[in-house]
Amino acid sequence: MDFLMSGVAACGACVFTNPLEVVKTRMQLQGELKAPGTYQRHYRNVFHAFFTIGRVDGLAALQKGLAPALLYQFLMNGIRLGTYGLADSSGYLHTTEGTLSPVRSAATGALAGVMGAYLGSPIYMVKTHLQAQAASEIAVGHQYRHQIFPPQSWKVALAAAMVSGIAVVLAMTPFDVASTRLYNQPTDVQGKGLMYRGILDALLQTARTEGIFGMYKGIGASYFRLGPHTILSLFFWDQLRFLYHTYTK
Element at 92 (helix H, strand E) = none
In a domain, 193, yes or no: yes
In a domain, 145, yes or no: no
Asked if 130 and 159 sit in the same domain, the reply is no
CB 80 within 8 A of CB 115: yes
The model's pLDDT over 82-133, given as tens digits with 9 standing for 90+, comes to: 788 788 888 888 888 888 889 989 998 899 889 888 888 988 998 999 999 9
- Number of structural domains in the chain: 2
Task: State the pLDDT at residue 148.
Answer: 63
Task: State the pLDDT at residue 14.
Answer: 87
Q: Does residue 231 or residue 121 have the better pLDDT?
A: 121
Asked if 171 and 119 sit in the same domain, the reply is no
The model's pLDDT over 179-227, given as tens digits with 9 standing for 90+, comes to: 999 999 999 998 899 999 999 999 999 999 998 888 888 887 887 787 7
Closest Cα to residue 138, out of 26, 231, 20, 219?
Answer: 26
Asked if 133 and 159 sit in the same domain, the reply is no
Asked if 172 and 125 sit in the same domain, the reply is no
Asked if 181 and 230 sit in the same domain, the reply is yes
- CATH number, domain with residue 128: 1.50.40.10
Boundary residue ending a domain (138, 170, 203) = 138
Asked if 11 and 114 sit in the same domain, the reply is yes
Residues of the domain holding 111? 2-138
* C-alpha to C-alpha distance for 26 and 77, rounded to whole angstroms: 24
